[in-house]
Each structure stands twice: as structure tokens, then as C-alpha cells.
Amino acid sequence: TGQINTLLGKNPLLFDTYLSGAIEVDVDCLCDGQSTFVSGILEHIEEAGIHSGDSACSLPVHALPSDLVDELERQT
């Protein structure tokens, strides 16, 4: 895409690809600049790539393993 974007200048092309069988989640959190509080982890029901505004989500998560939820909280 680098060569194409050079030719297009101010109107670059953007390509999205998604992993087959991927799980998409949204992590909502609050931060005061020092401490971070995870207020919710939403698990998308549809396949990865469906815009979050157009997809159904589960809160709390439905099928994510607890170790994955713990890792999401740790990384946030």
C-alpha cells in the first residue's frame, strides 16, 4: 500500500484485515491520570470486524476465559 498511497497523495487507501475466528472485545475504563478502573469488558457476539455500533455485545462477557479477562484488565 505504500506505493499506492504515494500516488494518491492526500487520499490514502486504508485496508483492514481480520484474523479468522478472532474474538473482538471493547474495554471501557476510567482514568484520573494515575489510577485506571475497568468499568466493563464487552464481548462482541458477531464476528470480528463488525462495527461495535452495529453489533450485539455481552456485558458481562459470556464466553471469554477468566485468564483472558484478567489479562485484558492487566494491560488496561
Question: Do 39 and 29 meet the contact criterion of CB atoms below 8 Å apart?
Answer: yes
Domain extent listing, the chain: 20-75
pTM higher than 0.85:
no
| Cβ-proximal residues to 74 (8 Å cutoff; 6+ apart), any chain | none
Can you give the pLDDT at residue 4?
Answer: 62
pLDDT in tens, the chain (76 residues): 556 666 666 776 667 676 777 888 999 999 999 999 999 999 988 877 777 778 888 989 999 999 999 999 999 9
DSSP codes joined into one string, 4-48: HHHHHTTS--------TT---EEEEEEE-SS-EEEEEEEEESSPT
Residue that has been written with the C-alpha cell 455481552 in this structure: 58
Can you give the pLDDT at residue 37?
Answer: 95
